[in-house]
Structure 1
Amino acid sequence: MANSNLLVLTGATGFLGSKVLVLALKAGYNVRIVVRSASKANKVFNAPSIKALNPSAEQLSHVLIENMEVPGAFDEALKGATHVIHCASPIPSFGGVAPTQEYYHEFFIQPARRVTIGLLESSRKAGTVRRVVITSSIVANVPYQYYLGQGDDKIFTAETRIPVDKGPYGSEMQAYAASKTAALNESEAWVAENKPGFDLISILPGWIWGADELATTPQDFESSSTNSVLLAFLRGSQSEVASHVGSVLIDDCAKLHILALDPKIPGNQAFLAVADDINGKDWEDAIDIIKKNYPEAIEKGLLKTTGKQPTIRIRLDAKKTEETFGFKLAGFDEQVKSLVNQYLEVIKA
């Protein structure tokens, strides 16, 4: 029997998942988080936002799944669930190169496929699930050569689909992109073929930036989440490797996941989570933002204007997302300020 409002959430210990959890509880969902260990569950339960909400055992519970790739791994976790949000995913170290192609397949490609399809299979078995929301990425539907500056002026939408990059992979990021493409394409194909009693929505964010409650020391900003990349640039890092800037505020990305559970949003479709217009922003725009808003931090050396990061323009059209969900995604300016405000608060503390 279904709990009329039971959401099963993976990735609650991560940057995005932790924010999704807070919004889900505030929206009135009872949430069952999937974690790999009791210590990770305790980390979630002890987060300031969760302690402030003080949820009951019914409102917030957890289930342990040590290996999500095992067939049937989610069967027990999804019993009685009405909704599922899958945020968990292996994250690349942004530039790290692993020694073997086998590593890429074992760490990125195969887990993405097995976990995603396994989750859908278990959702069907449960018989009570009405909607599954999966965190994808813009790297799932933009050919990887575009991120190497080898693209054209093509405009990408949430409906764009590409074949899975078979490799060999030159970096973790390329393998991560291939894993996201595989998960997106195969999950949509699975739903089309099996016609389960639930529908599927995929959210495709770009860079996710903004305040991270899980970062409580200056060192946390250097090793946790995608924030580390933007903050390194704002602290003077020098890079010759060009990168794109398509991005979304963490709060907005989490909000999209929760709103996507509403049956008023038609299912079996995808949405880009990228702010600003299709022409995007430059990395150097972040320097202008900190010059305008944080002159004292620059004077003290906490932020620097000497960062170097060439920009690649990839044209991403998220107009459908804003029209469907009914709100404007916060732009690059707000994303930078959200992150920097928190970073400076932590430094001060």
Structure 2
Amino acid sequence: MPHETNSKIILITGINGYIASHIGVQFLRKGYTVRGTSRSLSARDHLLSGAFKGYEPFYQHVVVPDITAPGAFDEAVRAVHHIIHTASPVDFTLTSVDAFFGPAIGGNLSILNSARIHAGPQLESFVVTSSVAAVVDRWKNAPDHDYTEADWNTTGESVARETFTAPVAYGASKAAAERALWDWVSANKPSWSVAAINPAVVTGPPVSFPATPDKLNETLLPIWRIYANELPNGGAMPPQIGGAGYIDVRDVARMHVWAAEHHALSNGQRYLLANGKAPPQAVADILREKFPERDIIVGEPGKGYTPDYDFVKGESSLVSTKALAALGIERFIGFEQSVLDTVKAFEAKWPGVAKNLKQ
């Protein structure tokens, strides 16, 4: 139950998502009422029987079947004090740039317009979950570029339109969606603050779980596959995601909460969140050491990362000093803790499902 009391209502879109459910837990613990949206009502029961159990009086749910539809969020935004917009489908089976761009841009514009017309004068902040993919432009910048919030992915769209790949199209769509957000702000000059959170690859223990491990999201599934030795493609190491920058989900959620609560400071700002570089090889190395009784892929130990999981000298880095200063901390949750806490959560949820114990 909440440790504090607070009369304010927080709207979190895509509430059943990995990051969003963490944000919901943090706000509920602070005494807020959380209103979540999802595409179907089943998400409500799933959360109230799991991550949000015990917070039933402080949770509301609105079904939004299509986030890009005009007026989709009209009811959801009414009387809320803060909006956290995390809903943006990640589907790497899509086969065109426009298929990525439509939901990403349309979802942002749909909820912004609903908020402008229907939220009410009590609305204080709008925080959107963007991505490091909206920041990094490896085609334009030097290989050792130090990326900050001033950087934008401006080349990804043309690259994806010339030679389509889903990851490049996804990154371009995140940049386009965030650009659309800031263009909307310039044109409409809302009375409430607007901020964007740009996390790297997100790891860390989920608070809401799918029915089975194979349904885990794109960033957690590789950790499960390495831990359980359920590797596709002939047992190969999972591919690196982007530049392998990482950040723990609890820090990502904390940044969203801070941006909403400190809206006078966060207004108009982007916050890049990354704690270093850690490719799948680093996951395998950590888990082989901690679980010697399990058969875990060896790969090429130590390759592609530093012992402290910081950025590699001579390669690009992601500078998070702005976010660290805002949160008043020196460092985010470390990678080893993030991975081990994730596996601990897996084992608590699915004990004995990983069958790779050595004979």
TM tier, shorter chain?
A: 0.7 to 0.9
Matched ranges for 1:29-40 at <5 A: 29-40=32-43
Query: AA paired with 2:275?
Result: A
1:45-56 matches, within 5 Å, as 45-47=48-50, 49-51=51-53, 53-56=54-57
1:166-185 counterparts in 2 under 5 A? 166=158, 167-168=160-161, 170-185=164-179
How many pairs does the alignment contain?
A: 325
Query: What residue is the counterpart of 2:3 in the other structure?
Result: none
Provide TM-score, normalisation by structure 1: 0.84
Point out where structure 2 has 5 or more consecutive residues left out of the alignment.
1-5, 306-314, 354-359
Q: Counterpart of 2:143 in structure 1: which amino acid? A: D
Q: Structure 1, residues 273-296: CA drift from partner, whole Å, max 9, x if none?
A: 2113xxx34543333322332223
Q: Distance in 2 between matches of 1:92 and 1:216?
A: 16
The corresponding residue for 1:226 is 219
Give, in whole Å, the separation in 2 of the partners of 1:309 and 1:36: 42
Instruction: Say what the alpha-carbon RMSD is for the aligned residues.
Output: 2.7
- Conservation of the 8 A alpha-carbon contact between 1:242 and 1:311: no
Over 3 Å counting, the alpha-carbon distance change for 1:307 and 1:9 in structure 2 is farther
What is the aligned partner in structure 2 of residue 315 from structure 1?
317
- The answer for the alignment partner of 2:61 in structure 1 is 62
Q: Which amino acid aligns with 1:253?
A: V
Tell me: CA distance 1:85–1:307, structure 2 relative to 1, closer, same or farther (3 Å).
farther
State whether residues 27 and 257 of structure 2, in contact with CA within 8 Å, keep that contact through their aligned partners in structure 1.
Answer: yes
The one of 223, 236, 239 aligned to 1:238: 236
Task: Verify: 1:285 aligned to 2:282, yes or no.
Answer: yes
Rate the CA distance shift 1:120–1:4 in 2: closer, same or farther, 3 A. Answer: farther
Q: Distance in 1 between matches of 2:267 and 2:207?
A: 31
Code of the residue aligned with 1:304 in structure 2: it is I
Q: Is the 2:194–2:267 contact (alpha carbons within 8 Å) kept by the matching residues of 1?
A: yes
Letter of the structure 2 residue corresponding to residue 231 of structure 1? W
Deviations 1:205-233 (A, max 9, x none): 1111111233366x425543410123334
Moved more, 231-240 or 119-128: 231-240
Q: Does the 8 Å contact 1:239/1:310 carry over to 2? A: no
So what's the TM-score if we normalise by structure 2?
Answer: 0.82
Of 29-38 and 156-165, the range deviating more from structure 2: 156-165
How many angstroms apart in 1 are the aligned matches of 2:18 and 2:240? 25
Return closer, same or farther for 1:90/1:247 CA change in 2, 3 Å cut-off.
same
Counterpart residue number, 1:88: 87
Distance in structure 2 (CA, Å) of the matches to 1:29 and 1:225: 30
Q: Aligned residue for 2:271?
A: 271
Q: Identify the residue that residue 113 of structure 1 maps to in structure 2.
A: 105
Moved over 4 A (4+): 239-243, 307-313
Which structure 1 residue ranges, 5 or more long, are not aligned? none
Task: Select which of 197, 212, 225 maps to 1:203.
Answer: 197
Q: CA deviation at 1:179?
A: 1.0
Q: What is the match of residue 159 of structure 1?
A: 150
Quote the Cα distance in structure 2 between the aligned partners of 1:221 and 1:144: 31
Counterpart CA distance in 2 for 1:238 and 1:294 is 19
Corresponding residue for residue 352 of structure 2:
348
Aligned CA distance change for structure 1 residues 151 and 238 (closer, same or farther; 3 Å): farther
Match of 2:46 in 1: 43
> 84-93 or 239-248: which moved more?
239-248
User: Could you tell me how far apart the structure 1 residues matched to 2:283 and 2:131 are?
Assistant: 22
Deviations 1:81-122 (A, max 9, x none): 1100011111134xx5x5x43xx413x201111110111111
1:308, CA displacement in angstroms?
8.7
Q: Is the 8 A contact 1:233 1:309 kept in 2?
A: no
C-alpha deviation, 1:134, in angstroms: 0.6
Query: Is the CA contact (8 Å cut-off) linking 2:9 and 2:35 kept in structure 1?
Result: yes
CA contact 2:87–2:107 (8 Å) conserved in 1: no
Aligned 8 A contact 1:246 1:314 in 2: no
Structure 2 residue identity aligned to 1:224: N
Deviation at 1:309? 11
Aligned to 1:14: 17
Alignment equivalent of 1:127, drawn from 120, 132, 138: 120
Give the secondary-structure state (helix, strand or coil) at the position aligned to 1:330: coil
Q: Structure 2 vs 1, CA of residues 142 and 37 (structure 1 numbering), >3 Å: closer, same or farther?
A: same
Conserved? CA contact 2:203–2:219, under 8 Å: yes
8 Å CA contact 1:256, 1:325 repeated in 2: yes
Q: Distance in 2 between matches of 1:211 and 1:37?
A: 24
Q: Matched residues in 2 for 1:251 and 1:233: separation?
A: 22
State the identity %. 25
**2:346 partner SS:** helix
